[in-house]
Structure 1
Amino acid sequence: MTKPLSEHYEAILRGLGEDPERGGLVGTPDRAAKAMQFLTEGYQQDLQTIVNGAVFESDNDEMVVVQNIEFYSLCEHHMLPFIGKAHIAYLPTGRVLGLSKFARIVDMFARRLQIQESLTRQVALAVEEVTQATGVGVIMEAKHMCMMMRGVQKQNSSMMTSVMLGSFRENQATRAEFLNLARGSSGFFDRG
């Protein structure tokens, strides 16, 4: 699979007026192809394999929040990176998910060509599916290189998205608890 992708990167270099045989560019098409495969490896992953049975019985029915999950993705419009943090919360109903699986779920969806709005929803739906929780909340904040490096070139802009499912959507107190906990995390919602 890397060979055809590598050939496309070589064509891009030529299209830019570069010589792929120039010292600094020798091997670049192969390296770029491998990098792109890594950055989009989420297409080769599925939820059940990622979770790998790490759902455990628990009598906890109080909110569980996992904060500041770092992620990076590629904008599907310009194929430029966007980088940020995710907060995930859920209300368990007899089952809790292994802690590292939240980061793996975020990465599985982030390592695809994405828009942040879809990424946030995909993560929320996956957590809901795996945990069978009565409610799930996901907040993501990211800086988008497609807005910073090109176009309007706004260096301090960021985008925040949220998806609230079940009791997080229906119950104002549950939503408020999550938002207050998320606000208390280091760096998230930091505007100063």
Structure 2
Amino acid sequence: MRDAVRVILEEMGEDPAREGLQKTPERVARALLFLTQGLKRPLDDAIGDALFTSDNDEIVVVRNIEFYSLCEHHMLPIIGHVDIGYLPNGKVLGLSKLARIVDLYARRLQIQENMTREIAEAVQSVTGARGVAVQVRAAHMCMAMRGVEKVESETITSMMLGAFRNHPQTRQEFLQLIGQGRK
């Protein structure tokens, strides 16, 4: 990977031997491996033993889980927030594990639409919930830094499974909960 970065620098017209770039190939390689570490991690790593028996049958919501990803088309940053809600079915997941699930899928070359679905399906498969709702809001640097150069644009995607898909009232409750206090 380091050699590939050197070639990229040369093709850009840079001198990889100049002082400021001498260690750049190694730094870029380490950064890319970190930013894509979700590719090599199984879902069980994110969950551990944090699935607990519970009588709760009301919506559990964790909102504003920040994430950083790389778009698979340009390898430029996607920066945003994820809101997750689920209706427990005898089991609840440790709250921090929802953030770990987000990181697992964000830390790979990705498109937002797929990441949204993958997070929802992961929460569903781990918890056996009666329903799962995921909303992702993000800024895409491939739209802001190049191309159309729309810095203020935000992309919103959602995935509703089970009761959140089949019952408009449940979906509406989730949307109200994640919207509370937002400007």
Alignment TM-score > 0.5, same fold? yes
Q: Residue 100 of structure 1 aligns with which residue?
A: 96
Long gaps (5+) in structure 2: none
Q: What is the distance in 2 between the residues matched to 1:143 and 1:31?
A: 25
Partner SS for 1:90: strand
Q: Which TM-score applies when normalising by structure 1?
A: 0.94
AA matched with 1:123: I
Structure 1 residue 68: Cα displacement: 0.5
* Change in CA separation of 1:106 and 1:185 when aligned onto 2, cut-off 3 Å: farther
- 2:114 maps to amino acid: S
Report sequence identity in percent. 57
Deviations 1:126-150 (A, max 9, x none): 0000000000000000000000000
Aligned pairs for 1:33-182 within 5 A: 33-182=29-178
Once residues 50 and 99 of structure 1 are traced to their aligned partners in structure 2, the CA distance between those partners, rounded to angstroms, is: 11
Alpha-carbon distance in 2 for matches of 1:110, 1:167: 25
Give the counterpart letter for 1:165 in structure 2.
L
| Separation in 2, partners of 1:114, 1:185 | 30
CA distance in 2 between partners of 1:165 and 1:62 (Å): 16
User: Which residue of structure 2 lines up, in the alignment, with residue 6 of structure 1?
Assistant: 2
SS of the counterpart of 2:63? strand
Using the alignment, how far apart are the partners of 2:66 and 2:19 within structure 1? 35
SS in 1 for 2:92: strand
- Structure 1 vs Structure 2 CA RMSD: 0.7
The runs of at least 4 consecutive aligned structure 1 residues that moved more than 2 Å come to none
| TM-score between the two structures when normalised by the length of structure 2 | 0.98
**Structure 1 equivalent of residue 14 of structure 2:** 18
Alignment partners' CA distance in 2, 1:63 and 1:97: 12
**Unaligned stretches of 5+ in structure 1?**
none
* Aligned-pair CA distance for 1:8: 0.5
Q: 2:28 aligns to what?
A: 32
Deviations along 1:74-101, one digit per CA (max 9) or x if unpaired, are 0100000010000000000110000110
Q: Can you list the C-alpha shifts for 1:159-184, whole angstroms capped at 9, x where unaligned?
A: 00000000000001100000011111
CA contact (8 A) 1:67 1:185 kept: no
1:160 counterpart letter in structure 2 = I
One-letter code of the match for 2:32?
A: M
Amino acid at match of 1:154: K
The alpha carbon displacement at 1:50 in A equals: 1.3
Contact 1:50 1:104 in 2 (8 A): yes
